[in-house]
Chains A and B, each alone.
Chain A
Amino acid sequence: MGLTNQSTGSNAIDKKLNLNYTYTDNKIIALAGNPNVGKSTVFNNLTGLNQHTGNWPGKTVTNATGKCIHKNKEFILVDIPGTYSLMANSVEEEVARDFICFGNPDATIVIVDATCLERNLNLVLQTLEITNNVVVCVNLMDEAKRKGIIIDTKKLSSILGIPVIGTSATKGKGLEELMDSVYNLTFTKIVQTPLNIQYNYILEKAITLIQNILIPTLPQTINTRWVSLKLLENEKTLLNSIYKYIGFNINEKPEISQIITDAREILISNNIDDKLLRDEIVSTLVTKAENISKNVVSFSIEKYNSTDRKIDSILTSKKFGIPLMILLLGIIFWITLTGANIPSEFLSKVLFWVQAKLTDFFLWLGTPIWVEGILVQGMYRTLAWVISVMLPPMAIFFPLFTLLEDLGYLPRVAFNLDNFFKKSSACGKQALTMCMGFGCNAAGIIGCRIIDSPRERLIAIITNNFVPCNGRFPTLIAIITMFFAGMFAGPFQSVISTIILTSVILLGIFMTLIISRILSMTILKGVPSSFTLELPPYRKPQIGKIIIRSILDRTLFVLGRAVIVAAPAGIIIWFMANINIEGISLLTHCATFLNPFAHLIGLDGYILMAFILGFPANEIVIPIIIMSYTATGSILNLDSLAELHNLLITNGWTWCTAVCVMLFSLMHWPCSTTCLTINKETQSLKWTFISFLVPTITGITICFLFTTTVRLLGLA
């Protein structure tokens, strides 16, 4: 789901706006644009960095940076969040605005959608108010051509007074020219005099009044006209940003405050209040964009979007909208389940064959037994498990999911489900953040920035964990394959597994809605706030690229996690399993302590212990369980799921245990990275703690109810 090593896991946190590059010859280029205009495609093509694009609004949740060499010069490209405006209506808009204004980029490329130029021009005009060093990149020219939309980029360039380059980034067309004009702008010291947006006479008078006092006080890099306009609008976030980036507190300068008050007086005496002022500003920009668009855009086909409307009339229809959605999810799961078996088995055969050889090698070396224990039984085996079980399903699931995403289907999911979220007093965009959660809950939580209302954003953050991430999804698949698929023979086996997996995911979605609702009625009281959701045009995905990119990406991600987390965890667990106190291992001591409680919720002490030790990463939960069981002296050669199944059965697992492990895996505390991310995003220990507790309590309650019912009915 568009998650990369840059945007997930521990990399998801700690992205700062400021760039500290030591080379002075580097040019910093900001990449701005509306959501969903192919901004990340341009970025990827220019930098070669593996950052993924999404066909839904608000993809870039952190500032990604990459290097691009053009004409032997180095350009640092900064992919800022996709926004419709720079008016700081949301966190993302504030980040985008602050980077353009205070990040001191040498140039800003505004990427616009050729198929929807008019709306996109709004952002261009707003950017031009902040900086003169702008290059416009009219992307998706090929798509516009297909739809019969013709854009006169030369004319647009002469109207705007800045370079305008037409591109088709997916094909790499026009990007050379784009970088040529960026090069010219940044290295040849051209002074651009772009179009100046004129407001009405009264506004201009007020702006000039403030601007005159700001010119001697603010650094030259800051556009004083624009700051004046914002001060007139009483834009508080800008005051904070000015203080944050330039260390200049306007509130402490009585002479400036006085002038601002005077200027606002001019407006008030002309009956222009805050609301009217903003309407006036936006209307001026929108009208300007409309006029420019009329001048440069022509259509050769009348109904250029009719295919999209036809697809929508099926995918979002009353009858088929939701069933089709579940069916699509089911198909993806089915392909994942059936497809993952073969590589999974192959990988585990190979990796466990290597393990046997490694053991032989250590025996041959004559090292003490504990050396082999730590390195092979502990570290290597955990690694091998994580790789063989986690990698194949993820390498299949992600390209498929990315395909849906690139097609533009995910916003339709949000559209279909919005009413359910509304009933839970939550935001429809929560569905999009849940989709991101499939890849990594930490990324999902950062993705919650696309939700404007702080209350609804908190709800989305707290409930994000009900979507099983990368680390938990394969755990579910493994358990389903071991315990439930085997109950049915023949071709239906995979269908049954798919139905079970789909049900688990639907349960997660159901719990998200219920808990959102409960939160809305209790600690996060409130009514659903307003939001707008864009349904972008359907796009032809680049299938080959998606497959290669996401498989590589997933492989790197899983391998990275395996090395960073699973390997050290394997060593720790080996120690816990092998350090004996009074003849019983440390692990068993802990497990015995946890056992009574774990029993109540259908687990055992070892399983609960595994979940606790799995706090750094959910991937290692099952390896810990296996190691706990094998350390207590049973079979050792676990090169297939069937043998693993036997191991679990001998350790007292029943189908009820399996269900409870799945339920608990779906609903328990978020992993450590996710917790850190929540803390960073909410800036509050309280909400982090609540985000930890809510899924945990839910999971415990549900497992308890399930186990008790099963036991009372005598089913297991």
Chain B
Amino acid sequence: MADLIHLNHKLLPVIGRFGISLGFGDSTVNEICRKKGIETAFFLEVVNAFHDPDYYPQENLRQFSLQLIVDYLRNTHRFYLDKKIPEIEEMIEAMIRDCYPGKEHIDLIKVFFGNYRKELIAHIEREEETVFPYALMVEEAFLKGSLTGEQREQIRKRSMKDYQEEHDDIEEKLYDLKNIIIKYLPQPQDVSGCTHILYELFYLEQDINDHSRIEDKVLAPKVEQMEKVLLERYPLSDG
């Protein structure tokens, strides 16, 4: 496990989301996962997806329960909302406190970031309230081996593909914010505040991208596959 972190320190928050804390000595990935009750294969899948942007999970690696994936994605959401966003907000606040000229500029950044936060929350709520329950419903029907008329109707009406297409773009505002700070914000005397915020923004953007990749490349294909099997196996409504 230590090797893993040495290889890519950006995995630190990822292992944190699995509830793994540092100080694990020379324990292997497998040992730690077993101790923490984490499915090792799933852990590796997520780590790989984060580490290598081109990593494309093979069919047989998608054999985890959706519940596991959804739980992980939910944890990630919590990480953004409870940790990353407040951290960045605190940094912006600190800059407002510390800089004398140009306070009103930082205020603008604060308002802008506040709007971004609202957008992110709306996005996360949509996923947690519609997409995830839908995915779990499909899995349940799949595992049970039966499909009620109502469930059929749901798949017909709004499949995973539709959800995917509704996926709103939450990256644009982050991109704008970075550019505003890099290119246009009159820099305060102490530039370290801006540098820190930028680091965090780049990090957050990267992390959200990786997070979306798990949704796009692990969650969605798996749900679509089950949808297909269900509709083929139960062409007529049985209830």
B partners with A = no
